[in-house]
């Protein structure tokens, strides 16, 4: 993993697209472990991604290469002002 104390980490929120991350910020999965009762029990750090100086993180939720942006926000016409929040993966469907 990159150790870049001389680098300034930055996250830029683009108007209708991804988060642009610069400065060699390390990126890793965060895994929710489900207990025997079917409820989220704890979180564990998952595998990391290869170090990159910069990358674009999907903000629209439609990328087929998550967590990275692959351009789907353009074809769906993503706009943060009309986007609906997505449910956490373990949230029940009760109404
Ligand atoms: S923000 Fe680009 S694919 Fe989601």
**The predicted structure's pLDDT at residue 92:** 47
Residue among 58, 77, 86 whose CB has most ligand 1 atoms within 8 A, to mutate: 58
Q: For the whole model, what pTM was predicted?
A: 0.74
Q: Which atom of ligand 1 is closest in space to residue 59's alpha carbon?
A: 1
pLDDT tens, position by position, 36-75: 999 999 999 999 999 999 999 999 999 999 999 999 999 9
How many Å lie between the centroid of ligand 1 and the Cα of residue 31? 21
Q: What number of H helices and E strands is found in the chain?
A: 1, 5
Positions of E strands within 1-95: 10-13, 19-22, 28-34, 40-48, 54-57
Within the chain, where are the H helices?
72-76
- How far apart CA 29 and CA 50 sit, in angstroms, is 12
How many Å lie between the centroid of ligand 1 and the Cα of residue 91? 23
């Amino acid at each position: 993993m990159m150790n870049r104390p001389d680098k300034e980490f930055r996250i830029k929120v683009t108007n209708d697209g991804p988060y642009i991350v610069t400065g060699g910020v390390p990126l890793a999965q965060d895994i929710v472990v489900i207990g025997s009762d079917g409820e989220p029990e704890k979180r564990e750090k998952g595998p990391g991604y290869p170090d990159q100086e910069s990358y674009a993180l999907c903000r629209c939720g439609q990328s087929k290469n998550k967590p990275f942006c692959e351009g789907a926000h353009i074809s769906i016409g993503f706009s943060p002002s009309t986007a609906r929040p997505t449910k956490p993966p373990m949230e029940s469907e009760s109404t």
